[in-house]
Amino acid sequence: MVGVSGLVDKVVDGYQRDKDMLIQILLELQRGFGWLPEEALNEVSRQLGVPLTRVYQIATFYKAFSLTPKGRHLIRVCVGTACQVRGAPLIRDRVQHLIGVEPGETTPDMRFTFETVNCLGCCAMGPVMTVDNDYHGHLSIPDVEKVIGVYK
Amino acid sequence: MKEELVTLKIDDKEVKAKKGMTILEAAKEAGIEIPTLCYHEKLAPYGACRICSVEVIRDGRTQIVASCGYPIKERLEVKTRSPGIDKIRKTIIELIAPSLSDEGLVGKVRELADEYGADTSRFISRFRATPTRCILCGQCVRYCSEVIGIHVIGFVGRGVERRVVFFPQRAQFCPTCQECFYLCPTGKIAAETAGDTFPGFSIDDYLSGKMLIK
Amino acid sequence: MPRINSPSELEKLREEIKGKRDPNKPCITLCSGTACQASDSESVSQAFERELKRQGLEGEIDLRRTGCHGFCERGPLVVIYPEEICYTKVKPEDALEIVQSVREKKVVDCLLYTDPVTGARIKREPEIPFYENQQRIVFGPNRWIDPKNIEDYLFLGGYRALSKALFEMSPEQVLEEIKKANLRGRGGGGFPAGRKWEETKKTSREPKYVIVNCDEGDPGAYMDRSLMEGNPHSVLEGLIIGAYAIGSHEGFVYVRQEYPLAVENLEIALKQAEEYGFLGENILGSEFSFRVKIHRGAGAFVSGESSALMNAIEGRLGEPRMKYIHTAVSGIKDRPSCLNNVETWATVPLIINKGAEWFNSIGTDKSKGTKIFSLVGKVNNTGLVEVPMGMTLRQIIYDIGGGIAKGKKFKGVQTGGPSGGIIPEQYLDTPVDFDELTKLGSIMGSGGMVVMDENTCMVDTARYFINFCCEESCGKCIPCREGLRLLREILNDICEGKGKENDIELIEDIAETMRDASLCALGTTAANPVLTTLKYFGDEYETHIKEKRCPAKFCKNLIDYWIDSEKCQACMICLRNCPTEAIQGGKNLLHWIVQEKCIKCGICYEVCPPRFGAVVKLSGEPVPPPPAPGTEVVRKEGG
């Protein structure tokens, strides 16, 4: 992959090559690449001087990191307690039924990555779903198809 | 400089030990064996197996703590066996038994199962994942990183999807000391390496999803 | 902006700021917290900007985007000053009318809050019952502050407490005041902050660290987020005062990455604080220096546990470690580290300004001060509320929360997040504080309060929390990892009608081992929701296991959807909306569901017009046979 080591160098430098900032560095790389390619993980280990095992340990522990490329649009259905109580499971099931993948997965055509999230903090609008940066609240099950249909 | 000594009671026996020691260490010195699965004297105490749990009483307060990590204190009373402690150890073995299947129920694990009367098939019907033969004690991982310092084997994932994997890209650095083979309480590493020098379960197996098939 | 180098310079600046602000000048404030933004308050804001420009009123009417006001159910919220007129559910289209009304000193009646019981329209924000019963000493200032502008904070008296601490008090005196105030941690543990500060201070190792825990992971709780987004300086000021008392010169703020606006506003606040001289070297010209770094979380609930958080700050995996030696003694890199919650730090400047005695006059015997709660779920007035410790659950849920939504019946209130429990109706008069809820088997926790009604299945609620903890468990220790795995399977089985006779015994045994032997509080408390639901709603478990029935009609495997032929008016709506074409019938012909094709999605139930209410959920009873195909509908009068 072109430029991976260059970008890693830039990010690691931005954090003064401070080993304590490993998680922050990975977060920025995740943002930059949209995921964490193997080469990026190797580069971080090499440039920052932290064991590769630790880089993988962290990259596979946290939900923010993806070791596979993500889809064009990110669907997040809130399954926090307040939304749960207002019917989130049926919303989640509806999305799953419509796009054919489970939470944590990306559709084969790379259109959607589907995730559940534990509280977006908009409990008053529950049940809530976000697609990319758009919030969709007060959802009812029939709405779901229309909502995601907009995102190509 | 004289080292400060602490006086405590372990199983009604008065014990004097150096300040800074853990209950496990003080007990061992006094000839009292507390069972462990994830502890190794060359490694920093980890606290994963909880088998070494003991009851401590001090200033009228009773607590259950992991003896491998709890620093000894003046006037501490420790019970290494009790109905409560025994039940904990029994249940812990019952909890890990389904992950081990018969091949893994060996050595110390088998001894503990017998000693504490664990019903190793108690939770089998509700365990719906593939047995890994790994209790995630981390001795292999920690030994390789803390003692050998080569970091060839590590933890990945989280929760029930946490696994121990070998990193083939680090293989060139492995001194093939095979310490991890001997440390493994269930014999998994030796069993799954079959003639090769390095453990047979790798990071690639994890990333491909092979390890997570339920 | 030249740095402020003395208390007198600070007060001089404050007077200047006050001098430039005319208290009678109209100001339109608009809530811009994440929740209102999700209701598109940004468009409302832009509409106001356009309207003010169009009418040439930019110089005469101020527009201020503030932090969360708390009444999230009614957002986007707009409050007009100086009259404090409160408009709810404001849309961009309303901007013109509102601006005109401000200009003409009138009121837009239709946008006022309407009391659901009396029907009266209430003009002023403090008179709205939701706010009237609160005591918003920590959270209240949110409504007057633009978090991106430090001068709003200064205008209200901000950083006076810091100035007082640095120049009129010794570090020991500051510590004494916090100890005297009996300030207990608001993150869930309720540990006396003063004692933690003292332990950190007394441990003779350098450097010492202070940490703000803004990882707020309890689902349904967003108090810390709203404080951090809306008034970051209040947290910062508290942190600097604490650092001074303890003798720390380096602080960390750990914010979960799911809170980008909080991070953004905090970064701006840090920058401005440094510019003005409240951070960095020689703060306000004193001898005290202090700097702050931000660490973002990466999506793990367990990393909010204090020892795990400190591991993450060291760049290592954010999983907990054995804490028999307090982190106040040995934390980040084995150094004394004092970690407190956002709300705890934000309370510190108040105590320094008004005194421990004042703080002790609020609350109960062992729980002083106020607490912010997120009141959510099946309640009418969803939002963030701040009340004195000791107010009862009933008062919070009914007087402030407005009771149960849609006229349903209260069933339980879940407090304390995944470490807490569900409290049933008979305990509604329990005062809420650190200790009273614990006696019932729950905890106050960080302040989450999820109200549940008759349609909430308690077994499913237990299953939900176990599933949450199972996903969030770090997996390090056996009791938690394996215990939660099995509990999840058992509860899934019960909810699917596959429960077994001795399941309750199994659950209790596993829960006991988790409670006694887990490494950290996630494991030791994860079974609380199950245990409290077993205690207070045990009959629901029995019904699920023995009768394979879900009384709340929620558990998919235990319910069937059925169309009542006597109510069906053959309107075709459900038929057309069914995703699996499981509904048979036609125009004027009775509809019926082919059970084998039904995936229990619930759409037919939602779309059947309420005046018919023909779609019914059955549980524990056989589904009546369908009508003969071609049966015509019997038209009801007015149908």
Q: What is the CATH number of domain B5-43+53-79?
A: 3.10.20.740
pLDDT at residue C118 in the model: 83
Residues 105-144 of B with CB under 8 A from C: 123, 126-129, 135-136, 138
Q: Could you say which of A19, A21, A124 has the minimum Cβ distance to residue C382?
A: A124
HSE on the CB side for C405, CA within 13 Å?
18
Pairwise CA distance, residues C218 & C186, whole Å: 13
**Partner-chain contact C258 A21, CB within 8 Å:** no
Q: Is B136 on the interface with A (CB under 8 A)?
A: no
- Give how far C444 is from chain B: nearest CA, Å: 23
| Token output for C50 | 């356009």
pLDDT along chain C (639 residues), means of 10: 93 97 95 89 95 94 95 94 96 96 95 89 94 96 97 97 98 98 96 98 97 94 96 98 98 94 97 98 97 96 97 96 96 98 98 98 97 95 96 97 94 96 97 96 95 96 96 98 98 97 96 98 96 97 97 96 94 92 92 94 93 95 91 74
Judged by a CB distance cut-off of 8 A, whether residue B39 touches chain C is no
Query: Touching check for B69 and chain C: CB below 8 Å?
Result: yes
Count Cβ atoms below 10 Å from residue C381 Cβ, excluding itself: 25
Residues of C in contact with A50 (CB under 8 A): 315
Average pLDDT (A71-99) is: 93
Cβ of A53 within 8 Å of Cβ of B145? The answer is yes
Would the pLDDT of B72 be above 50?
Answer: yes
Contact C473, C484 (CB under 8 A): yes
Q: Which of residues 307-326 of C touch A (CB under 8 A)?
A: 312-319
Of C300, C478, C486, the CB nearest to B92: C478
Smallest CA–CA distance, residue A41 to chain B, in Å, is 12
- For A:30-89, CB contacts with C below 8 A are 50, 54, 57-58, 61-65, 79-82, 84-87
In this prediction, residue C639 carries a pLDDT of 45
Q: Across the interface, do B167 and A53 touch by the CB < 8 Å criterion? A: yes
Contact A23 C225 (CB under 8 A): no
Question: The dihedral of CA C425, C428, C432, C436: what is its sign?
Answer: negative
Whether the CB of C509 is below 8 Å from some CB of chain B: the reply is yes
Distance (Å, whole) CA C443 – CA C434 = 7
Task: Find the CB nearest B154 among A42, A53, A62.
Answer: A53
Check if the beta carbon of residue C555 is closer than 8 Å to that of residue C493. Answer: no
Do residues C444 and C450 lie in contact, with contact meaning Cβ atoms separated by under 8 Å?
Answer: no
Residues of A in contact with B207 (CB under 8 A): 67
Distance from CA of A144 to the nearest CA of B (A): 30
- Which chain A residues have a beta carbon less than 8 Å from that of C319? 61
| Nearest partner of C368 among C237, C211, C177, C222, judged by Cα | C177
Chain C stretch 519-578, residues whose beta carbon is closer than 8 A to a beta carbon of chain A: 577
Q: Which of C475, C478, C509 sits opposite B50 (nearest CB)?
A: C478
Closest Cβ–Cβ partner in C324, C489, C510 for B65? C324
Give the model's pLDDT for residue B197. Answer: 67
- On whether the CB atoms of residues C158 and C269 are closer than 8 A, the answer is no
pLDDT at A63: 92
* Contact flag C377-A24 (C-beta cutoff 8 Å): no
User: Does the pLDDT value for residue B169 go beyond 60?
Assistant: yes
Please indicate if any CB of chain A lies within 8 Å of the CB of B207. yes
Every domain of chain A with CATH number 3.40.30.10 lies at: 73-149
**Residue C521 forms contact with B (CB below 8 Å):** no
Enumerate the residues of chain C whose CB falls inside 8 A of the CB of residue B123.
Answer: 486, 506
- Mean pLDDT in residue range A14-43: 96
Q: Nearest chain C Cα to B138, which residue?
A: C476
pLDDT digits (tens, 9 = 90+) for B79-128: 999 999 999 999 999 999 999 988 899 999 999 999 999 999 999 999 99
Structure tokens at B121: 């098939």
What's the rounded Cα separation, in Å, for the pair C370 and C133?
A: 12
Per CB distance under 8 Å, which residues of A are interface residues toward B? Answer: 42, 51-54, 56-57, 60-62, 67
> Chains near B, with 3+ CB pairs < 8 A?
A, C
Sign of the Cα pseudo-torsion (B174, B175, B177, B179, in order): negative
- Find the helix or strand (DSSP H, E) in which C28 lies: strand C27-31
Contact A143, A105 (CB under 8 A): no
pLDDT at C590: 94
> Is B45 at the interface with chain C, CB within 8 A?
yes
Architecture of domain A73-149: 3-Layer(aba) Sandwich (3.40)
- The helix or strand, by DSSP H or E, that contains position C232, with its residue range, turns out to be helix C232-246
Q: To the nearest whole angstrom, how far is the Cα of B96 from the nearest Cα of chain C?
A: 7
Query: Distance, in angstroms, between C489 CA and closest chain B CA?
Result: 6
Contacts for C543 with CB less than 8 Å, ≥ 6 apart: C549, C550, C551, C620
Three-state SS at C612: coil
Q: For residue C552, what are the contacts with CB-CB under 8 A and spacing of at least 6?
A: C454, C455, C456, C457, C458, C460, C540
Where does CATH 3.10.20.740 sit in chain B? Answer: 5-43+53-79
* Spatial contact of C381 and C130, defined as CB atoms under 8 Å apart: yes
Is the CB of A64 less than 8 angstroms away from the CB of C299?
yes
Q: Please, which pLDDT band fits residue B52 given cuts at 50, 70 and 90?
A: very high
Instruction: Name the pairing type of β-strands C337-341 and C448-453.
Output: unpaired
Cα–Cα distance between C262 and C59 in angstroms, integer?
30
Determine contact: C224 vs chain B, CB below 8 A. no
CA B154, CA B205: separation in Å to the nearest integer?
13
Kindly determine whether residue A93 and residue C601, on different chains, have CB atoms separated by under 8 Å.
yes
Kindly determine whether residue A137 and residue C39, on different chains, have CB atoms separated by under 8 Å.
yes
Is A82 in contact with C414 (Cβ distance < 8 A)? Answer: no
C487: closest chain B residue by CA: B126
Q: Provide the residue type at B164 as one letter.
A: V
Domains in chain C with CATH codes: 24-81+85-123 (3.40.30.10), 150-360 (3.40.50.11540), 370-456 (3.10.20.600), 459-547 (1.20.1440.230), 556-619 (3.30.70.20)
Pairwise CB contact (< 8 Å): B162 & C481: yes
**Taking 80 as the threshold, does the pLDDT of residue B214 lie above it?**
no
Chain A and chain B share a number of CB contacts under 8 A equal to 35
What's the gap in Å between the CA of A2 and the closest CA on chain C? 26
Distance from CA of A53 to the nearest CA of B (A): 5
